[in-house]
Amino acid sequence: MAINLINTPEWHALAAHAEAFGNRHLRELFAADGQRFEHFSLRQGDLLLDFSKQRVGADTLDLLHRLAAAADIPGWTAKMRAGETINHTEGRAVLHIALRAPQGSPDARPEVAAVLDRLRSFCHRIHDDTWRGFSGQRITDVVNIGIGGSDLGPRMAVRALAARQQPDLKLHFVSNVDGADLAGTLAGLNPRTTLFIVASKTFTTLETMANACSARDWLVAAAGSQAAVARHFVAVSTNLKATSDFGIPPENVFEFWDWVGGRFSLWSAIGLPLALAIGFQQFEELLAGAHAMDEHFFSAPAAENLPLTLALLDLWNTDFLDACSHAVLPYSQSLGLLPAYLEQLEMESNGKQVNREGQPVGVATAPILWGEAGTSGQHSFYQLLHQGGRLIPCDFILLKEADFPLPGHHEQLLANCLAQSAALAFGQTEEEARAAGASAALAPYKVFPGNQPSSTLVLPALSPFALGQLVALYEHKVFCLGILWGINSFDQWGVELGKQLAGRLTPMLAGKGGDALFDASTRGLMAALRQS
Ligand code: F6P
C-alpha cells in the first residue's frame, strides 16, 4: 500500500522549508556558493545534468531525499522488476525495462528476444530488397499508422536520429483520423512500393483502424486484389485475433505484451519504424542506452540518481513553489518532437488526482508539459518566460557535438542555450538596465526578474545510445513521481469518457439516432454541422 506522503513529517518539513527558503533568489544562491555547479550537477556515463539553476539548497535536497525514502522508491522498483501488478487498476505488470534488458540480465525475457530476432530479420529483408511489393518492386516508403504511444515514440526518434537515416527508405507517420493526415501522406506515394505498419496495442483504436482501413482500400484499388495486403501490411500489436481479422497474416505480425504501456513502448516492436529508419544495429544501441539508464536508476545511490533527482526537483517546483507548467526546450532541431513525446509520457502517466487507494491525492500532480526546439521558441514564447511573471521551470537539452554540422551554427546554438538559462536564472535589475544604456523611461521595461529555475542536460552527441539514455531518464522520473504522489502512473482512465461520447455522436452526425440525451450546446453544434 502506498502511503500518502502529504501527511508525513517529511512533507511538513519541506513545507516549512519552502516558507523560509522558497523565495531566495538564484543570484543569492550562486553568490553564496562558488562551487554551486560542482555541488548541483550529476553524470551518468557521458550524460551531464546541471541543476544548479534550480531553486534548491543542500538542505532542500536533503529534505526531498528524506521524503523519497519515506515513499520507498527502491521497494516499488523491486515490485516493478518482479513483475507485480503495480498497474493495479488494469491488473497488469509494468515491465518495459525487460524490452531493453540484454540476454543474461535478470530483467531479460525470452519472448522479447524472440520478437527482436524476427524484427531483425524483417529489417534486413526490407533493407536488402528481398521483401518486395505486389508488382515485384522494392519498398521505398514506410507509413506507420498509429496514435499516442504507437506513434509518438517512433516518430520522435526517427526525427531525432535523422542524421543516421538509411538511404533509399522514407518513413512517414499518420495518426490523426482527420483525412488530411492520411490523404496528404498517400498523395506522394506509390502503392507498389509502400509498406504500411499498423501499430496499435489494442488494435481497436478508432483513429488507427479508420486510417488502416482507408490505406488498405487504397492499396487494394491499385493492386486489384486483396492478396496484396500480405505484401504491404505488417502489424504491431498485442491483439493477434484482431490483426488476423483485419487480414494481416500471422507471419507479418510483431507481438508485444500487455505489460508494456503504450507510452513506454518505443523499445518494443512499436520501434519498428525506427529500426527500419536507422538499421537494426543502431536500434539495439538505443536499447543499450536505455538499459544503461535502467542500471543507473536501479543501482546509483539516491543522491547521485539522475531520474530520482529530476523527480524530486519536479515535485519541489510543483508542490512547494507552485509551478503549474514545465517547459522542455531542446536546443536541437532533431529533438523537436521530444516535447510532444514527453507530453504523453508525463501527462498521461501522472495527470491524475486520485491515488492508489481511490482517495484524492490532495496536492497538484503532473505540471502542464510543453515546449519547442530552441532557438525557434526564443522568437515566440520566451517573452513570457522572461517577463510574464509566472514560475515555469525549464529543461534545457543540448548536444555537445552537432548532428548536422555547418560552420558556425553549433556555436551559436549552444551560446543561445546558455544565454537563455542564465538570463532566466539571474535576470536584470533596473539599475543594470540603466547601466547598459536604457533611458529612465525604458528601464522598467528592461527589467528581467530572473529566478526562473532550470535544469540543463548535456548529451555528448545525438547517438541512438544517448537518445535511449535520455528517454529512459524521463521514464524513470515519471515512475518516481507516481510513487511520490501515490498514484498509478500506468493507467489512463481519463481518456475514456471522450472516446465513449464520440462513439455515440459519430452515427448521429450521419443522421442516425437522436441527440436528445446531449446538452444544449452539443445539440446546437450538431444541428449546425448537419445543416446542408
Ligand atoms: O487513448 C489513449 C491511448 O490508449 C494511449 O494510452 C495509447 O498510447 C493510445 O491510446 C493508442 O492505443 P493503441 O496502441 O491501443 O492503439
Per-residue pLDDT tens over the stretch 456-506: 999 999 999 999 999 999 999 999 999 999 999 999 999 999 999 999 999
Q: How far is the CA of 55 from the centre of ligand 1 (A)?
A: 36
pLDDT of residue 46: 95
Residue 206, ligand 1, Cβ within 6 A: no
Whose CA is closest to 401, among 409, 410, 391, 393?
Answer: 410
Closest ligand 1 atom to the C-alpha of 146? 16
Burial 140-151 (b: 16+ CB within 10 A, else e): bbbbbbbbbbbb
At residue 228, the pLDDT reads 97
CB within 8 Å of 415: residues ≥ 6 apart? none
DSSP H stretches of helix in 375-463: 382-387, 409-426, 430-435
454 CA from centroid of ligand 1 (Å): 31
Tens of pLDDT, residues 343-394: 999 999 999 999 999 999 999 999 999 999 999 999 999 999 999 999 999 9
pLDDT, position 144: 98
The DSSP symbol for 101 reads P
> 149 in ligand 1 pocket by Cβ < 6 Å?
yes
CA of 72 to the centre of ligand 1 (A): 30
Which of ligand 1's atoms lies nearest the C-alpha of 199? 14
Residue linked to cell 535589475: 429
> Which ligand 1 atom minimizes the distance to the CA of 262?
8
Helical packing angle, 464-485 and 306-315, nearest 10°: 50
Ligand 1 close to Cβ of residue 428 (< 6 A): no
Annotated catalytic residue within 38, 241, 379, 512: 379
Q: What is the pLDDT of residue 1?
A: 61
**φ, ψ at 44 (rounded to 5°):** -130, 110
What stretches in the chain show pLDDT beneath 70?
Answer: 1-2
Atom 10 of ligand 1, nearest CA residue: 148
In this prediction, residue 515 carries a pLDDT of: 75
Question: Pairing relation of β-strands 325-331 and 253-255?
Answer: unpaired
**Cβ contact 97:81 at 8 Å:** yes
Cα(111)–Cα(88) distance, rounded to whole angstroms? 23
Q: What pLDDT, on a 0 to 100 scale, did the predictor assign at position 429?
A: 98
Tell me the CA–centroid distance for residue 203 and ligand 1, in Å.
Answer: 9
